[in-house]
Chains A and B, each alone.
Chain A
């Protein structure tokens, strides 16, 4: 072996080593500092609702100041559920993860032990959580009796969500000003009359064919479900066995109703191809009487119509009862008594104590006020027990809500929050206070608040994705969504019934029995856990 060879070999091994070091450096994670030192701890947090927001506003800074924790927000960049699924499969999830309670991801994060049990942490570091959540903590326990997450937006008793969103100016014209302003719900046949009258009176508007009712694709059918009191599962008695919702006799009635609208030419011909953007566009075009959607979904359209056609050219919410459904039996809204999201600390979190302290602060009155109302004095004041925004902040939020949110940080971060307002007189938050003043919110509050049902018992009952039953459940849902257009677009009512029967046959063939078995097992276990 000569000198050159040795030097070249050394060079080669040096390069290999260098490469290895580089690669391992890429793989290494920022381990984060310990809370024992006084430096602020940085924790990563996935928030599916965060859009592209950064944790840099006054509220965020105050949270950091109060807890000594700097939050590094992980934005969803697209579909949050897809991203959460991907993060889990690649073991790349952050320190704290917020996941929708109704999504299968919650099951996955807990069963894969990505979420750590919080019970010890709650006992040691989270007195505020214990105080604020109370019995909710008992209800959000997992099947092993432990708490793996804190509910977010829990305690909802039924705020308005979706309904018939009708143009107020046309409603006044069609049913009279008094009836249009009243809180009395409409019956199914009354609504069909209104839609028919509209079509007769205004066959064309601005040269375009008028559209009595628009639906935002098959995704809008939760509102139609609501009109007929159809719930997530069909249950004949409280606590009894759960059946698939398609077996609810009301489900067929619901399809027959939309089919009737279609046959009478009262439904947008292209309802099934509508997506959020297209629906909003069509609603703004001035030739649509109404839609069935969440009341805030029509705000963009109302805003543009108002500017050109006057202040009553505004979509407002009405309750319509399906045949045989009482005014209290509709299920237009969902009151998530256990909240919409779940917030959990993951096993990746190096400093669980700091994470616990952060959550504890958020769950304090101080934390809730900060997130919902901002700084006392500067952003809001309390007058006779009612939380009221200051004039400056109110003006900013009315002018441009997104901009104001970004600048003040108010309601930009809503974590570990309860839906209960700070005082009985107050609105839930500053944005709710301002939102309640809008025409659509006022109508929604007047007509839709008593129509919600609690979805908490039915969340997360579907079989897990990694099981054969999970596959079957997905297939059944696929069949059902594909059957909806067939039932609605059938040429006769008999055609709808035929398509419905075919759908039941198909979902049974796809293994409904196996899926329901798992659903009921989970439901039973949950009831046992809740002591019901």
Chain B
């Protein structure tokens, strides 16, 4: 690398002048070369498919002429599909989506933090490992299996009803899957059960990065265990918690698809139909691509706005922020 790389002094000599774009690229050509495969991947897999968004504003139907031709020849209908969605099912679907995901967030978000902090306090090595393994095992069970387990457990003769009746909390069995009001709670608990152990790993990693000297200093000062958690562990976890919270708020419209599809039935569809299952049923199963895209696009835009909003809040009230 001798005279091939121009000296960086050019930047210093014209500090006020806007830099020539092409020249910068030439200057940084090795970095660009390095980034090239990644850029191609991003364009190919993240940006090129976005052309399909246009489908939401047309009446797309596929033909043998190929995707691009179909897309450009599809009659433009403007916001017709969005209008149809808002006039018909928007309220109900949005209520269910938010109901399921807010409850899932309420249960599912703090649980991994609690597990991680408590596990950190367990001093017996095998117990700690055992609990950790047991708590993240559900993550690896497929939803198909988990859904049938849940359906059986919550059935009229299932273990949940048996326990409730044995403890004289209820006298008659509760038909959990025929009353829409239970659905969101069952789903939130199921989501929590499945994800808590796995999500705790991130917090455990963050805890292991805390400087041990702080705990030693606290010991000398005579801090109790709960004080150490309150004043050392949790504050050290705060940035991680904030980032993960921002991410989960961005994903608030992602209620999870398989579990809902597998657990819903026609008697509780009023409570169990969420954005994902709705756009799947209309868009994919029935081939209403334009309508499915419109619903999907709506979801993406709202999610995007939510991330920005959460990021702003986080920036304002703590130092942690994504961008």
Contacts and interface: CB of A to CB of B under 8 A. Distances in A.
B270 interface: yes
Most buried by B among A90, A113, A270, A464: A270
A85 interface: yes
Contacts of A79: 285
Contacts of B288: 465-466, 470-471, 474
B266 A485 contact: yes
A136 B64 CA distance: 27
Contacts of A502: none
Contact of A272 (B62, B265, B282): B265
A89 B173 CA distance: 47
A209 B156 CA distance: 11
Interface residues of B, number: 47
A484 interface: yes
B60 A4 contact: no
A218 interface: yes
A19 interface: yes
B4 A8 contact: yes
Contacts of A474: 281-282, 286, 288
Contact of A466 (B66, B281, B289): B289
B10 interface: no
B249 to A, nearest CB: 30
Interface string A245-271: 000000000000000000000000110
Interface in B1-33: 2-4, 29-30, 33
Contacts of B282: 471, 474
A89 B148 contact: no
Contact of B62 (A15, A112, A478): A112
Given A466-B287, A481-B266, A270 B175 contact: yes
A217 to B, nearest CB: 6
A273 B265 contact: yes
Given A82-B285, A88-B62, A273-B265, A12 B67 contact: no
A278 interface: yes
A217 B265 contact: yes
19 contacts: A19-B37, A19-B40, A79-B285, A81-B285, A82-B285, A85-B285, A90-B67, A91-B66, A104-B286, A105-B287, A112-B61, A218-B266, A269-B173, A277-B148, A347-B64, A465-B287, A466-B287, A481-B266, A481-B269
Interface of A: 2, 4-5, 8, 12, 15-16, 19, 23, 79, 81-82, 85-86, 88-91, 104-105, 108, 111-114, 208-209, 217-218, 269-270, 272-273, 275, 277-278, 346-347, 464-468, 470-471, 474-475, 478, 481-482, 484-486, 489
Given A85-B286, A88-B62, A482-B267, 11 more contacts: A8-B30, A89-B62, A108-B61, A272-B177, A273-B265, A278-B148, A347-B64, A464-B287, A466-B290, A485-B178, A485-B267
